[in-house]
Amino acid sequence: MNSPNTKTAIPYNRSRQAREAETMLDHITDDFDDNPAAMDYFYDLFRRAYCQGESLEREGVRVGTTCIHAPEELIYAMGATPVRLCNGSYHYDQIGADFMPAKSCSLVKATLGMLSSENVIPKVGKLDLIVNPTTCDQKKKASAMMVGMGHKVYNLELPPAKESEQARLYWQRSVREFVQQLRQITGKKLTRKNLMAAMARTSRAQAAFRTLHNFRRKAPSLVLGKDVFLVTNAYFFDDIERWTEAVEKLNAELAQRDQDGFCAAQKKAPRILFTGSPPIFPNLKLPLLIEESGGVVVADETCSANRMLYDMTAVDEWLVNDMVDSLANKYLKPCTCPIFTNSDDRLRRLVELAKSFAVDGVVYQAFSGCQVYEMEQKSVAETLNKAGIAMLYIETDYSPDDMGQLTTRIEAFLESLKTRKRNRT
């Protein structure tokens, strides 16, 4: 007889989200020859975390973040472990649709979907706090919904502009308040010593990223963009020291590849700069489509990769309060998020990246319903075109049903870039 408490136990790896992740990983590994051996660490990490539902380790208090604006040095300094909650699963996107209007951003919906589920994947365990920087409207409104699900949420107030002095002061106060909040949660005090130690940890990780980033300037390419997106994506939840070591190993392998004259892509493969809404595993469909169609993503300007890790902290203040203030500046001033009123920095950064990475074209992804990226695409296209760089704008979401159309568009774009190049020479 069935007792009323019997649950139908489905092995985790047969669940929809596990199979979604598995399909994507299979594409990433099997559709390409010569994946770097050092990538095995990351393939395995994602298989364990997403396909097998392995629990993630943690140290101390677990602090979830919903955006790169939450200063992780402060979280590490107080003995807590940050985990970035931004989610890329179509499965959770569909569940999250219960919380948001139909035409809202897949990323926000998927994050809510994940947080509302009993088994959050990756398994981060109990979240002691979620830090939600007040960026776009959808993330602002998601806050109350997360509270409704029983999470403890702290809204880290971000100003809508970043140039003015009042914006800087406003943000500095927000970050100081955040330190107080962390102190309450962790019961620890922020000191010069633990902050310096935390910054050393993140700086080493960022230095490893920057080396990887710079390897991508090489032509022909040493590494494909789909792998780099997986690497930066692992930073969301992996142990920071282990992650750094794995990236350093990858860098060593790339240095060897460089010496051996190895090519990860054809010499004439169009070089693509990827920007807009962030690719987050398992939604790597667009970067993957680009590389399966014969292009190579050599650089990106997204908050799941370059924007998250590029700008390093170098604080040489003597007093811990001054250190916090300058750390706050680092999280505000160089950020190229489209939620800020003025996006000149983002435009400059894109042109600079396109030029310094010898990019042939830019692919701009906007998740349907992500208004800021949708609205900005026109000015970005104009700026790039003025600089002689072609841009393809793609509005999409996490669902796989537009793959056929996207393939056609991407192939046509790559073909036109090739012809352009041929005509130029």
Interface with other proteins in residues 305-364 (CB under 8 A): none
What minimum distance in Å lies between the beta carbon of 402 and other proteins?
A: 4
CA pseudo-torsion sign 214, 349, 327, 141: negative
Residue 114 · residue 92 · CB < 8 Å: yes
Residue 262 · residue 383 · CB < 8 Å: no
Backbone angles phi, psi at 97, to 5 degrees: -60, -15
Task: Quote the Cα angle for 242-152-154, to 5°.
Answer: 80
Query: Would you say 90 or 209 has its CB closer to other proteins?
Result: 90
Q: Which residues contact 162 (CB under 8 A, 6 or more apart)?
A: 168, 171, 332, 333, 335, 340, 342
Query: Would you say 166 or 423 has its CB closer to other proteins?
Result: 423
Backbone angles phi, psi at 296, to 5 degrees: -140, 130
CA distance 338 to 245: 32
What minimum distance in Å lies between the beta carbon of 92 and other proteins?
A: 21
What minimum distance in Å lies between the beta carbon of 291 and other proteins?
A: 16
What minimum distance in Å lies between the beta carbon of 94 and other proteins?
A: 16
What radius of gyration, in Å, describes the C-alpha atoms of the chain? 21
Choose one: 40-48, 182-190, 259-267, 394-402; the region binding other proteins (CB under 8 A).
394-402
Query: Would you say 245 or 411 has its CB closer to other proteins?
Result: 411
What minimum distance in Å lies between the beta carbon of 83 and other proteins?
A: 33
User: Is residue 5 close enough to count as binding other proteins by CB under 8 A?
Assistant: no
* Tokens linked to 185: 């949660």
Number of neighbours of residue 420 by Cβ within 10 angstroms: 14
What minimum distance in Å lies between the beta carbon of 392 and other proteins?
A: 9
Residue 9 · residue 15 · CB < 8 Å: no
Size of the site for other proteins (CB under 8 A): 15
Query: Would you say 332 or 370 has its CB closer to other proteins?
Result: 370
Residue 227 · residue 284 · CB < 8 Å: no
Going by the DSSP 8-state scheme, the letter that residue 297 receives in this structure is E
What minimum distance in Å lies between the beta carbon of 293 and other proteins?
A: 9
- For residue 346, the SS3 value is helix
Number of neighbours of residue 174 by Cβ within 10 angstroms: 20
User: Pattern of binders to other proteins over 396-425, x per CB under 8 A?
Assistant: -----xx-xx-xxx-xx--xx--xx--x--
Q: Which of 355, 357, 368 is nearest to 399 (CA)?
A: 368
What minimum distance in Å lies between the beta carbon of 374 and other proteins?
A: 12
What minimum distance in Å lies between the beta carbon of 364 and other proteins?
A: 13
Query: Would you say 248 or 292 has its CB closer to other proteins?
Result: 292
Residues facing 153 on adjacent strands: 130
Query: Would you say 164 or 405 has its CB closer to other proteins?
Result: 405
Task: Quote the Cα angle for 288-293-217, to 5°.
Answer: 70
Query: Would you say 7 or 422 has its CB closer to other proteins?
Result: 422
| Unique residue bearing structure tokens 């894109």 | 350
Query: Would you say 230 or 366 has its CB closer to other proteins?
Result: 366
Query: Would you say 310 or 393 has its CB closer to other proteins?
Result: 393
| Unique residue bearing structure tokens 């000015």 | 379
Binding site for other proteins (CB under 8 A): 395, 401-402, 404-405, 407-409, 411-412, 415-416, 419-420, 423
